[in-house]
Amino acid sequence: MDLGIRGRRAIVCASSKGLGRACAVALANEGVHVTLTARGAEALSQTAAEIRKANPGVVVTEVVGDITTPEGREAALNACPEPDILITNAGGPPGGDFRNWTRDDWIKALDANMLTPIELIKATVDGMMVRKFGRIVNITSSAVKAPTSRDLSNGARAGLTGFIAGIARKTVVNNVTINSLLPGVFDTDRLREPDARAEAEKRRISIDELIAEYNKSIPAGRVGDPEEFGLFCAFLCGAKASFITGQNILLDGGAFPGTL
């Protein structure tokens, strides 16, 4: 299916690895010029090179920086001042008990997972509305639908979700849609990083055993493949997806048990 977005420009935040990377790959495969961001230059440059090789007609721009800081956002916007597509994303906050979090911990989580997407939307949405095309997709979490053990994430992501629900209805008349994708468990580095390692160590099992447990607990019988996440994101950014806005779409292999 041709999504009708060849030649469009996208900022894909936090995209050297994982879900952000998968979104950038899927968009580039549709002929979208992509601006990628990440803090680490090495993985970013590797991802950019892979995308360029697979899509010689696509312009791939790398921006090294922390997207949760004003400087990081300014650098991304300078590299792509008039994006048609914005994918907001950043690392998630650590897990743990809310009793252990200070005000500074909360501000950091809110900055990363609520205020950064809001700042990026603020900087880009009016231009999109004037140009009569815009697709904004926020990568949030299944925590929006059913809280997880990550108290900081539950709070920060709910704040973003409430904000989006309001503005997504105001932009769509100008063909600017704003939606969020809610990942369940996907096979990215995050699955093997600190929180997972700590849980595995606490329970004296290996990371592979922990992942096998995830696989069993998901009705699909497996964790998600980032590629399927990226393809869904690209679809939402397509020219014909203009009637979908303000939605929070779970991609979780059936893990959420509710009827609605």
Collapsing DSSP to helix, strand or coil, 45 comes out as: helix
Under rule CB under 6 A, residue 20 binds ligand NAP: yes
Give the interface segment with ligand NAP, choosing from 18-26, 78-86, 99-107, 118-126 (CB under 6 A): 18-26
Could you tell me which of 4, 173, 159, 170 has the C-alpha nearest to residue 85? 4
Give the interface segment with ligand NAP, choosing from 32-40, 96-104, 125-133, 167-175 (CB under 6 A): 32-40
Under rule CB under 6 A, residue 172 binds ligand NAP: no
Q: DSSP assignment of 139-199, as one string?
A: E--GGGTS--SBHHHHHHHHHHHHHHHHHHHHHGGGTEEEEEEEE-SB-SGGGGSHHHHHH
Q: Which of 11, 86, 90, 128 binds ligand NAP (CB under 6 A)?
A: 90
The nearest distance, CB 54 to ligand NAP, in angstroms, is 18
Kindly state the number of chain residues that form the binding site for ligand NAP, as judged by CB under 6 A.
Answer: 29
Cα–Cα distance for residue pair 116/113, rounded to 1 Å: 6
Nearer to ligand NAP, 19 or 200 (CB): 19
The nearest distance, CB 23 to ligand NAP, in angstroms, is 9
- Which residues pair with residue 85 across a beta bridge? 10, 135
Footprint (CB under 6 A) of ligand NAP, residues 173-232:
183, 185-186, 188-190
36 to each of 47, 76, 102, how far by Cα in Å? 9, 8, 32
Give the HSE-up count for residue 216: Cα atoms under 13 Å, Cβ half-sphere: 6
Under rule CB under 6 A, residue 70 binds ligand NAP: no
Footprint (CB under 6 A) of ligand NAP, residues 229-258:
none
State both tokens at 124. 């880009």
Contact positions toward ligand NAP, by CB under 6 A?
14-20, 37-40, 43, 66-68, 72, 89-92, 139, 141-142, 183, 185-186, 188-190
